[in-house]
Amino acid sequence: MGGDHGPSVTVPAAVEFLSCHPDGRVILVGLSSAIESELRQVGADTRSRLKIVHASEVVEMDDAPALALRSKKDSSIRVAVELVKSGDAQAFVSAGNTGALMAISRFVLKTLPGIDRPAIVSVLPSMKGSTYVLDLGANVDCGPEHLLQFAIMGSILAESVEHKERPTVGLLNIGEETIKGNEVVKKAAELLRESGLNFIGNVEGDDIYKGKCDVIVCDGFVGNVALKTSEGLAQMLGTFLREEFSRNWMTRVAALVAAPVLSAFKKRVDHRQYNGATLIGLKGVVVKSHGSADRFSFGRAIERASEEARNGVVSRISQRLGTMENAA
Amino acid sequence: MGGDHGPSVTVPAAVEFLSCHPDGRVILVGLSSAIESELRQVGADTRSRLKIVHASEVVEMDDAPALALRSKKDSSIRVAVELVKSGDAQAFVSAGNTGALMAISRFVLKTLPGIDRPAIVSVLPSMKGSTYVLDLGANVDCGPEHLLQFAIMGSILAESVEHKERPTVGLLNIGEETIKGNEVVKKAAELLRESGLNFIGNVEGDDIYKGKCDVIVCDGFVGNVALKTSEGLAQMLGTFLREEFSRNWMTRVAALVAAPVLSAFKKRVDHRQYNGATLIGLKGVVVKSHGSADRFSFGRAIERASEEARNGVVSRISQRLGTMENAA
């Protein structure tokens, strides 16, 4: 029940999820009193598909991951991850501390055989639809084999959740030519060419938004910088646009006339739609929501987790890696 | 005389530069016949401050840097860089092949003592003005000492060209805490803390556009991805905005009413203003323009080169490094 807003956001989002999915069930994990007080208004049908599991501790946003793992054994994150491990939950969504979420998930669930390190993957909008990008920050130093593992996982995600056949995979680099990039990227390109994946070669930063391929793989350092840079730029452009429209009475009239168009534009590029980054490579579905998520936004993260669970992403990755190992 | 448009863009931009700077002089290097034909309309005063130096060869945009360096000894890039070396020119601007420009500049001019590798630096717009970011792609594998050198150079650039006192320097990372990042970045942070620069610590991708500091340093791989990602996102948002305003007759009316505002916004975020990336760390000023630059855009790159030459950026870096060496 973490994130900047706590149960006041996560509980209503969960209730809304249930009303959209008549077969859905949700377990709310956290301080039960806080959760109960948010549930007062909920109707009987929905309430019957909601369960509360009490967790007495809270991982703070600035807790060190190792500390949260070692000393907060009754935190909502820990309890929820244990529910995924035991099979009582098919997926877990958290708006809490990313580092702690990763450390606890990795410790409790473990990585899938053939996966050395889980990655953080998210979907970004593009001119042609959307692009899965990974890793977005879990691994700051990747070897070529890790980039290959990311490509396999991203590919299965695009296949199972977006229902794309043989998703195209690009390797994030600083030029399209094969001679470009550092040693890790060059070696990763070789592995990708031999992998049987639909590898289209090197792509550049702008290709994320051009929609050149379905999946883009990169080192977590690079991916995180690309993501954050995008957030910063979008915010700056939004601010400048607002400022220009509120400069004087004439521009404010223009803003009134243009309001429906601007609102359609805003809706189209609304980053909240894309909320929910998956910790992929674990023996279970764990989705991280932005800490600052509002109800709509957190709801999108729940949808993502639910989609991945329904489409058996974890077992598909596991199967594919088994097949690859047998073939090798 | 390279770039996508050749002399039809570069020559008029040079002429315009001369009319804005009555004390300026320009040497045009390239196929003299092509340059002459662009100069036909130019008035006598301007013409007297323009010199043509013929270069018989052209480095193509897809020539390998090593090949361009070895086999095209009379290319316009080579001839122009030699003019900087001999002191006949104080700066060189090119819209040509970046790799070849770097290889030739490095071979002919050499790096400044204390600088292992030149970097590519450019200014990006921010909420508070602008930010110098380097390296943007010259060095795909950097050690901590290279990041320190980038910080020194970027700092002097912001000091001399933007006239900022003790410019603030940030280290691009994936979190603000000192424990974040890979080994290179952690070690670089230590060096920066001891450097005497106005180091503010780690910054994240979004801080580029938030304008958290005057200079941001990073590995060339990361910097290039951040830059290209920004280009891609800006292009996508621009396209979406145009699409929304041209959806039907009502949105087109709104576009008419909002036209002055949209045009002010466009002007404010016009990337052409920021054209001109400096190859910094060389014994001479070399500025790279976007290959696709138009006249206005190429003119900005000339202005940048001129500013750096006027403000003695190269000798200031050299001096600072001398001082640091003596202090060490």
pLDDT at B5: 84
**pTM tops 0.90, yes or no:** yes
Chain centre distance of CA B142: 19
Smallest CA–CA distance, residue A109 to chain B, in Å, is 24
Detail the DSSP E strand segments found in B241-305: 277-280, 285-288
Contacts of B164 (CB under 8 A, 6+ apart): B158, B214
Distance CA B277, CA B231 (A): 15
Q: What is the mean pLDDT of chain A?
A: 93
pLDDT at B328: 54
pLDDT at A46: 84
| Contact across the interface for B244 and A228, Cβ inside 8 Å | no
Residue A285 has pLDDT above 80, yes or no: yes
Among the partner-chain residues B207, B260, B264, the one whose CB lies closest to the CB of A232 is B207
Q: Which of B102, B93, B120, B123 is nearest to B13 (CA)?
A: B93
- pLDDT per position as a tens digit, A110-158: 999 999 999 999 999 999 999 999 999 999 889 999 999 999 999 999 9
| Contact across the interface for B126 and A236, Cβ inside 8 Å | yes
CB A155 within 8 A of CB A324: no
Distance CA A37, CA A303 (A): 24
Residue A304 has pLDDT above 60, yes or no: yes
A vs B: CB pairs below 8 A: 175
Distance CA A217, CA A229 (A): 17
Distance CA B49, CA A242 (A): 45
Round to the nearest angstrom and report the end-to-end CA distance of chain B.
43
Q: Mind giving me the DSSP string for B126-162?
A: ETTEEEEEE-SSS-SS--HHHHHHHHHHHHHHHHHHS
3-state secondary structure A213-258: CCEEECCHHHHHHHHHHHHHHHHHHHHHHHHHHCCCHHHHHHHHHH
Residue A325 has pLDDT above 80, yes or no: no
Element of type H or E holding A320: helix A313-327
| Contact across the interface for A208 and B265, Cβ inside 8 Å | no
pLDDT at A328: 54
Task: Say how many residues make up chain B.
Answer: 328
Contacts of B239 (CB under 8 A, 6+ apart): A127
pLDDT at B23: 93
pLDDT at B280: 97
Task: Say how many residues make up chain A.
Answer: 328
- pLDDT bin (cut points 50, 70, 90) of residue A322 is confident
Is the Cβ of B224 closer than 8 Å to some Cβ of chain A? yes
Chain centre distance of CA A105: 14
Q: What part of B 138-157 touches A (C-beta under 8 Å)?
A: 140-141
pLDDT at A223: 97
| DSSP-assigned letter for residue B179 | T
pLDDT at B62: 87
pLDDT at A136: 95
pLDDT at A146: 97
- pLDDT per position as a tens digit, A180-221: 888 999 999 999 999 999 999 999 999 999 999 999 999 999
Detail the DSSP E strand segments found in chain A: 26-30, 50-54, 91-94, 119-126, 129-134, 168-172, 198-203, 215-217, 277-280, 285-288
Contacts of A111 (CB under 8 A, 6+ apart): A117, A118, A281, A282, A283
pLDDT at A5: 84
Smallest CA–CA distance, residue A72 to chain B, in Å, is 21
Identity of the amino acid at B288:
K
Q: Which of B317, B293, B10, B296 is nearest to B149 (CA)?
A: B317
pLDDT at B313: 96
Smallest CA–CA distance, residue A192 to chain B, in Å, is 20
Stretch A288-315: mean pLDDT, rounded? 95
Torsional sign, CA A51, A52, A55, A59: positive
pLDDT at B326: 63
Distance CA A109, CA B95 (A): 53
pLDDT at A326: 63
Among the partner-chain residues B185, B208, B240, the one whose CB lies closest to the CB of A229 is B208
Helix (H, G, I), strand (E, B) or coil at A25: coil
Instruction: Give the pLDDT of chain B (328 residues) as one tens digit per residue.
Output: 667 888 999 999 999 999 999 999 999 999 999 999 888 877 778 889 999 999 999 999 888 999 999 999 999 999 999 999 999 999 999 999 999 999 999 999 999 999 999 999 999 999 999 999 999 999 988 999 999 999 999 999 999 999 999 999 999 999 877 778 889 999 999 999 999 999 999 999 999 999 999 999 999 999 999 999 999 999 999 999 999 999 999 999 999 999 999 999 999 988 899 999 999 999 999 999 999 999 999 999 999 999 999 999 999 999 998 877 666 5
Chain centre distance of CA A253: 39
Searching chain B, which residue's CA lies closest to the CA of residue A245? B261
Token pair belonging to A170: 């690009």
CB B111 within 8 A of CB B282: yes
| Contact across the interface for B174 and A254, Cβ inside 8 Å | no
Smallest CA–CA distance, residue A140 to chain B, in Å, is 6
Query: Strand A168-172 to strand A129-134: parallel, antiparallel, or no bridges (unpaired)?
Result: unpaired
Contacts of A205 in chain B (CB under 8 A): 224-232
Distance CA A228, CA B201 (A): 17
Distance CA B228, CA A233 (A): 12
| DSSP-assigned letter for residue B112 | P
Token pair belonging to B110: 């050499």
Q: Which of B124, B281, B274 is nearest to B203 (CA)?
A: B124
pLDDT at B227: 96
pLDDT at A1: 63
CB B228 within 8 A of CB A229: no
